Amino acid sequence: MTDRLRTTPWRDRRTGTDSYPEIIAADECDLSTGGRVVDLGVALLRIMRFRPVCLQRETHHPPAHDEDIVQLILPMRGTVDATWAGRHDTVNEGDLYAHDLTHLEEMNLQSDGRDTLELALVTIPKPVLPLPDDAMTPLLGQGMPVDTGVGALLKRFIQDLANEKLTLTPADGQRLGMVLVDLVTACFSSLLESSPIPRPGSQPQALTQRIRATIQRHLHDPDLSPRSIAAAHHISVSYLHRLFQQHGHTVSAWIRDQRLQRARRDLADTALINIPIHKIATRWGFRRAADFSRAFRTAYGQSPRQFRSSLPST
Instruction: Verify that 225 and 189 share a domain, yes or no.
Output: no
Intra-chain end-to-end CA distance of the chain, in Å: 14
Instruction: Verify that 168 and 230 share a domain, yes or no.
Output: no
> Is residue 212 in a domain?
no
Instruction: Verify that 227 and 180 share a domain, yes or no.
Output: no
pLDDT in tens, the chain (314 residues): 222 323 344 444 444 444 334 444 433 344 555 678 888 888 899 998 888 887 777 655 555 544 678 999 999 888 888 888 888 888 888 899 999 888 888 888 887 766 788 899 999 988 888 777 777 888 888 888 888 888 999 999 999 998 867 778 888 888 898 899 989 988 888 887 765 444 443 467 667 777 887 888 888 899 999 999 998 888 888 889 988 887 778 999 999 998 998 898 888 887 788 899 999 999 999 999 999 999 999 999 999 999 988 876 65
Instruction: Verify that 39 and 128 share a domain, yes or no.
Output: yes
CATH code of the domain containing 279: 1.10.10.60
Instruction: Verify that 153 and 121 share a domain, yes or no.
Output: yes
Instruction: Verify that 240 and 146 share a domain, yes or no.
Output: no
CATH code of the domain containing 155: 2.60.120.280
> Is residue 239 in a domain?
yes
Q: How far apart are CA 109 and CA 140, in angstroms?
A: 19
Range of the domain at 271: 218-309
Instruction: Verify that 39 and 147 share a domain, yes or no.
Output: yes
Instruction: Verify that 151 and 258 share a domain, yes or no.
Output: no
> Is residue 207 in a domain?
no
**87: closest CA among 152, 135, 25, 137?**
137
> Is residue 2 in a domain?
no
By DSSP bridging, strand 142-144 and strand 96-99 are antiparallel
Q: How far apart are CA 272 and CA 293, in angstroms?
A: 18
> Is residue 3 in a domain?
no
Instruction: Verify that 176 and 36 share a domain, yes or no.
Output: yes
Instruction: Verify that 159 and 234 share a domain, yes or no.
Output: no
Helix (H) or strand (E) holding 238: helix 237-245
State if pTM tops 0.85: no
Q: How far apart are CA 233 and CA 100, in angstroms?
A: 30
Instruction: Verify that 145 and 16 share a domain, yes or no.
Output: yes
Please, are residues 41 and 177 in contact by the beta-carbon 8 Å criterion?
A: yes
Q: How many domains does the chain have?
A: 2
Reduce the DSSP state of residue 33 to 3 states and report it: strand
